[in-house]
Chain A
Amino acid sequence: MTGSLLFEAIVFLAGAILCVSIAKRFGLSSVIGYLLAGVLIGPYVLGFIGNEGDDILHFAEFGVVMMLFLIGLEIEPKNFWKMRKTIVGMGGLQVGGTMLLSYILFTLLGLEWKVALVISMAVALSSTAIAMQTIKEKGLMDSTFGTASFSILLFQDIIVIFMLGFIPLLSNSDGNVSAENQDGHSNLLNSLPIGLQTLAIILSVVLIIVAGKYLIVPMMRKVAKTGVRELLIAAAFLIVFSISFLMEYVGISPALGAFLGGVVLSNSEFKHELESTLEPFKNLLLGLFFMAVGASINFIVIANSPLTIGGILVAIIVLKAIVLFITGHLFKLKLDQKLLLTFSLAQIGEFAFVLLAFASGLNILQQDQMDMMLVITALSMSLTPILGIINERLILPRIGTKESVKRPMDHIAKSQKIILVGFGNFGSTIGRFLRSHGVETTILDHDSSRVDFLRKMGFEVYYGDATRIDLLESAGIAEAKIVICATNKISVSKAISSLIKDKYPHVELLIRTKDRFDAYELLNLGNENIYRESLETSLTLAKDVLSKLGFRKYTINRQVRNFIKYDEDSLRRLATEPNHDDDYIFKVKKELEQQEKFLNEDFKRGIVEYDNHWDSEYIRAILKNTKES
């Protein structure tokens, strides 16, 4: 419509803000909002965005790259290695199964085998962007379904390299391969013999690992020292850009390279800084990506053959769903975890755009086949969140782990209702101890395997996101006397705290916190009962150390009590000090400053100065002084 960059930016941003906030209001995933915004501003509704949609799509794919970098950051190499069986097993099964079935489907539809093969490759891949975004939004990353999805997606990201390497072999006219190279990037690999290709890939992976250790980390240290905030952002981007460039240069998907880079840096001290710096950019770019997908849905193609497209779309989704369900079954996922997996990965992913464009550039696909597949891909991506809602609201409540189970009232007085949010390590100890005193708690947890187990043990358990008001209400927050937040997610604790302050001020809230800074935040929200998870344990350990050095246990025990009191007092004193920057780097700096202050004060206070009981020497000294004076 208009070439003005500013105007396009305004259209995208306004569309995003409008549609995402509407979607959120209806309790839908933000992905739906972005997709709708894309359709709305796209060429077929308002027409603000025309053909440039494709360019934007390419640009926005960078959001996917960044997302994988961030995912990599969260996975330490050790865990990555631990997951290798699931990655290869589940991923291989899913990709292989889907390719086989869709190859049969498209051959039956009368396509040439080469075309059917290329399409089946594209179909086998799911959308990392949509699936991971939804999983993260729901906080299900560490559930069994979350890891399973992640493993499969990761396998796909790896296998796509091989697919891109394989497709040229199908080409009818080998001659123009290098000329038609994807996106005009100089691709080192194709100009090299096979052996060297592999070597180049291995070399570049090694390069990322080595550079991560000896180049990136020292650079970040220098940057952090300057204390200039925007340099940190620049450094973060520099890392991601460089890795992507290198990967594209040797012909590996930049997303995979970024993932590797993330894994390498996940053990460094800058993990959290990189995370907090890139997170907002990633989200915005992903949003842009989803909008571009929405805008690229070609409604003219749909209008021309709605039945064929609809039919193929449904067939593909059903076929992918079946393979996913079987994969989940073979890997012994629970029924509702299987369903979640099935519904969240049943779409065709963003890599399909790349594969299809690549194949069409090699004249394997014809233009109309390509258009149709692009539309189907975009549609299937748009359908994912809707399928997810259907699964969550209609199917799961019936067959999976139910949100709540009606249980006959037992003899324990229900008038003293206690709600326990989170039944992990911390919460389970609380629950067990309370139960040993005949005090039953109503538990809220979002891990369905745990929920089922707890129900078997006779607990009243509600399954789902504890920040949802309606879930808390159906768990009976209105009649509760006490709510215990045993999760270490500050966001959950804060949400519950403000809900209680707003609507149920009679409920007493007891909160576990991770550290001092989370404690400050919660104290400043007016919460009194804050329990720092490591305070008592670390002091117990310190107590044992001193005891092994020959200190008397009882004396040390009393000193520990004093120390805790002193520390709690200082916590409350410091909480009121203004502290507005959330930046991780400044937080860390501040924490170190505080530690230093504490250590100095502790040293000055000494250990026995304020404890003279049962100390005959002390009395003798005073008596001596009194006599002398």
Chain B
Amino acid sequence: MKKILILFSHPKFEKSRANSALIERIKDKEGVTLHDLYERYPDFHIDVDKEKELLNEHDVIIWHHPLYWYSCPPLMKQWIDMVLEFNWAYGPKGVALQDKICLNVITTGGSKDMYCSEGVNSFSVNQFLRPFEQTAKLCGMKYLPPFAVMGTHKLNDEDLQIYANQYSKLIGLLQNTVERSDIKDTLFLNDIEKLKIS
């Protein structure tokens, strides 16, 4: 069973319905380490050695965060800046993360139709996540499409529970092996066959 590290970044978790629902469902799953960055590093002073250790111990790295201004919250960017060190994560000798699996789990207030060339946000979520995709790539990780909960402003508690179940199932899937065929050309992991909710 693959070990999963969820790097969760939310500056105001206590007010987020969507993320509470998601986290509540997966936090006690076996083989899952939930690492709440804003709780652990309230002053942005990241313990790099500790973080490297955690990364070494896990096979799947999930960047779980809301999408703010088309990117991640600042502490997560700080984490990327500090932890993914030259010659450790990338560079001539940077092979520590080689072949690990990496993906974003995101929540957005706006719905999917706002994130397209005709929508107010002009670009798709996948386009906005390009920097993360490339970061993972430079570190030699396999980057999967994102799992997204979108239009959270309009979701009721029941909808959120459906997403939470899906997230939980996804974790189960990631703990075993995700087949290339499972993913194919999907833009969101939500859409793969095995996670479809009837």
Interface residues of A (CB under 8 A from B): 558, 561-562, 612-614, 618-619, 622-623, 626
Contacts and interface: CB of A to CB of B under 8 A. Distances in A.
Interface in B157-176: none
Contact of A558 (B45, B81, B93): B45
A558 B78 CA distance: 13
Given A558-B45, A561-B43, A626-B92, A619 B81 contact: no
Contacts of B48: 613
Contact of B45 (A561, A612, A618, A619): A561
Given A561-B45, A622-B86, A614 B91 contact: no
Interface in B55-83: 81-82
Nearest 7 Cβ contacts at the A-B interface = A561-B45, A619-B86, A613-B82, A626-B92, A622-B87, A613-B81, A558-B45
Contacts of A613: 48, 81-82, 85
Contacts of B85: 612-613
A561 B43 CA distance: 9
Contacts of A626: 92-93
A618 B86 CA distance: 9
A496 B56 CA distance: 43
Given A561-B43, A619-B86, A622-B87, 11 more contacts: A561-B45, A613-B81, A613-B82, A614-B81, A618-B86, A619-B91, A622-B86, A622-B91, A623-B91, A623-B92, A626-B92
Contacts of A618: 86
A623 B92 CA distance: 8
Contacts of A622: 86-87, 91
A59 to B, nearest CB: 62
Nearest to B86: A619
Interface string B30-49: 00000000000001010010
Contacts of A619: 86, 91
20 contacts: A558-B45, A561-B43, A561-B45, A562-B45, A612-B85, A613-B48, A613-B81, A613-B82, A613-B85, A614-B81, A618-B86, A619-B86, A619-B91, A622-B86, A622-B87, A622-B91, A623-B91, A623-B92, A626-B92, A626-B93
Main SS class of interface, A: helix
B18 to A, nearest CB: 25
Nearest to B87: A622
Nearest to B92: A626
Contacts of A558: 45
Nearest to B83: A613
A623 B87 CA distance: 9
A499 to B, nearest CB: 32
Contacts of A623: 91-92
Contacts, number: 20
Nearest to A627: B92
A110 B48 CA distance: 91
A562 B46 CA distance: 10
Contacts of B81: 613-614
A404 to B, nearest CB: 34
A236 to B, nearest CB: 48
B81 to A, nearest CB: 6
A612 B48 CA distance: 11
Interface string B94-127: 0000000000000000000000000000000000
A281 to B, nearest CB: 50
A626 B48 CA distance: 23
Counting chain A CB atoms within 10 Å of each CB, which of B48, B82, B86, B87 scores highest? B86
A296 B82 CA distance: 79
Contacts of A561: 43, 45
Contacts of B43: 561
Nearest to B47: A565
Counting chain A CB atoms within 10 Å of each CB, which of B43, B45, B85, B93 scores highest? B45
Nearest to A560: B45
A506 to B, nearest CB: 23
A612 B45 CA distance: 14
A618 B91 CA distance: 13
Contacts of B82: 613
A103 to B, nearest CB: 70
Nearest to B43: A561
A535 to B, nearest CB: 15
Contacts of A612: 85
B192 to A, nearest CB: 37
A558 B86 CA distance: 20
A258 B87 CA distance: 71
Nearest to B78: A613
Contacts of A614: 81
A613 B86 CA distance: 9
B148 to A, nearest CB: 30
Contacts of B87: 622
A326 B75 CA distance: 65
A619 B86 CA distance: 7
Contacts of B93: 626
A614 B82 CA distance: 8
A190 B43 CA distance: 74
A278 B83 CA distance: 58
A541 to B, nearest CB: 18
B59 to A, nearest CB: 26
Interface string B2-41: 0000000000000000000000000000000000000000
A335 B92 CA distance: 79
Contacts of B45: 558, 561-562
Nearest to B93: A626
A611 to B, nearest CB: 9
B39 to A, nearest CB: 17
A520 to B, nearest CB: 25
A614 B84 CA distance: 11
Nearest to A618: B86
A564 to B, nearest CB: 9
A558 to B, nearest CB: 6
Nearest to A614: B81
Nearest to B82: A613
A560 to B, nearest CB: 9
Nearest to B45: A561
A180 to B, nearest CB: 77
A622 B43 CA distance: 30
B71 to A, nearest CB: 18
A619 B85 CA distance: 10
A268 to B, nearest CB: 42
Nearest to A619: B86
A626 B87 CA distance: 11
A558 B85 CA distance: 17
Contacts of B91: 619, 622-623
A558 B43 CA distance: 9
A76 B92 CA distance: 66
B14 to A, nearest CB: 12
Contacts of A562: 45
B109 to A, nearest CB: 27
B112 to A, nearest CB: 36
A623 B90 CA distance: 12
A555 to B, nearest CB: 12
B180 to A, nearest CB: 35
A94 B82 CA distance: 71
A558 B92 CA distance: 28
